[in-house]
Amino acid sequence: MEFGDTVKVLRVIPLFAKLDPTKIKLIAFASEYLTVEDGEELFHEGDQADGVYLIDAGTAEIWLSAEDAEVLVGELSDHDVIGEMAIFRNEPRSATIRARGTLKVLRVDADMFLSVVTQNADAALSVMRILSEKLALAADRERELANRINELEAT
């Protein structure tokens, strides 16, 4: 992907939309555009977190290990951010991410991502919104699972 195209991708990602054009160019310069084919992993649960991924196009499935199996727990799509939690926590990846169909992502190095977020209030606020939405979604899923368990126990 050409440098100018990478800049265009970054401008439509809500996390970076309000950034100064020079910051966007700096991120674009330090980014890598990747294409992941159907069923391939972007990263695996337990991998070291070395970057954040911004979805340009496609769908990413979120898989968690559960005993001897994997469970599909969600999906992300265009303009979503993947992998920021492991970067902030300085922990290994908490899930496996697989492409459903062709997935096109922009990989931003962890240090670059942290630098942008810590030096820009708009980016920091955007990350807080993203994390809050993910937390609310996880709470909704937990309630849904608890309700299902209660229904099964009642029968």
**Domain locations along the chain:** 3-154
Phi, psi dihedrals of residue 7, rounded to the nearest 5° = -60, -40
Place of tokens 């992300």: 76
At how many degrees (to 10) do helices 121-154 and 110-119 cross?
A: 110
Q: Provide the pLDDT confidence category of residue 19 given band limits of 50, 70 and 90.
A: confident
Q: Which of 23-32, 43-52, 85-94, 133-142 has the weakest average pLDDT?
A: 133-142
pLDDT of residue 11: 86
State whether CATH 3.40.50.2000 applies to domain 3-154.
no
The pLDDT tens digits for 113-149 are: 888 888 877 777 777 777 778 777 777 777 887 788 8
Report yes or no: 36 and 103 within 8 Å, Cβ to Cβ. Answer: yes
Phi, psi dihedrals of residue 42, rounded to the nearest 5° = -80, -45
pLDDT of residue 97: 96
